[in-house]
Amino acid sequence: MWSRILRAGAAVAALSLALTACGGGGGSSSSANLADKAKNDKKLTIGIKFDQPGLGLKQPNGTYAGFDVDVAKYIAKQLGVDESGITWKEAQSAQREDLIKKGEVDFIVATYSITDKRKNEVSFGGPYFIAHQDLLVRSDDTSITGPESLTGNKKLCSVKGSTPAQNVKDKYAKEVQLLERATYSQCITSLLNGEVDAVTTDDIILAGYALQQPDKLKVVGKGFSDENYGVGLKKDDTQGRTAINDAIQKMEQDGTWAASLKTNLGQAKYSLPTTPPAIAP
């Protein structure tokens, strides 16, 4: 009889463990949507850029500042997570989709242009900003006035995992030499050292770098594309996307969006937009 009782007890214990493993224990599940995960855990891991002044910059004291950082904090707050519950993770351009798909971040706010190709791998909230591809050159360079002037074996730098440099080569200057770096800050170093003639990416990113060194760098100021910045999150997380869009709309409506842009980039030689873009359906 005792053996039957022991076997029955073991079976009950096994069933209890199985239920717990399936989520019956009340903890958050890795498959939970973003909104529920934030509500349950009160913690989020958010991907941002660490080297983009005015947008996403890791400061000497270890804190983070910029427009994208403010957007990320605002979204987190609306999801129920205070700033103290945020873990910041660097999201370099070439790594963004993998970071989301592998679950290493909950969402990404990192000058992340919404494209059809990327939407095959991740979902997007927003857009929360529209930038335009442009060129950054040395202040004393008068030969480069736009993408069409990148002739005579000019050297153009951009980062791995982004499309701006190839876009210039395909549409404007087929003979331009493309150089790729891991980060835009590395491109800026190459530009200042004379290793390249121009850096290309979105105008708002370039404006931040020019603001840091106005005597040495300038934005050409002839944008030639529309880049819709979105918040990247796990593919097909409809509830998470809705929650992000609701947060973005609230940030825009209560004046925080415009105030953040002015605080972070108001001193740059860049025309800040007065109205935010419409959220994508």
Task: Give percent of the chain above pLDDT 90.
Answer: 70
Of the candidate ranges 59-68, 107-116, 136-145, 169-178, the one whose mean pLDDT is the lowest: 169-178
Give me the mean pLDDT over the 224-252 stretch.
Answer: 96
pLDDT, tens digit (0-9, with 9 covering 90-100), for 102-119: 999 999 999 999 999 999
> Domains of the chain, with CATH numbers?
34-131+227-265 (3.40.190.10), 133-219 (3.40.190.10)
What is the overall mean pLDDT for the chain?
A: 88
Beta-strand runs (E) in 41-146:
44-48, 51-52, 56-58, 64-65, 86-90, 107-113, 123-131, 133-138
The residue assigned the tokens 């440099």 is 165
CB 136 within 8 A of CB 218: yes
At residue 269, the pLDDT reads 80
Give me the mean pLDDT over the 117-136 stretch.
Answer: 96
- CA 269 – CA 60 distance, rounded (Å): 25
DSSP bridge pairs for 51: 57
Give me the mean pLDDT over the 156-175 stretch.
Answer: 82
Q: pLDDT tier at 31 (50, 70, 90 boundaries)?
A: low
- CA 138 – CA 202 distance, rounded (Å): 17
At residue 66, the pLDDT reads 97
User: pTM of the prediction?
Assistant: 0.83
At residue 172, the pLDDT reads 85
- CA 22 – CA 150 distance, rounded (Å): 58
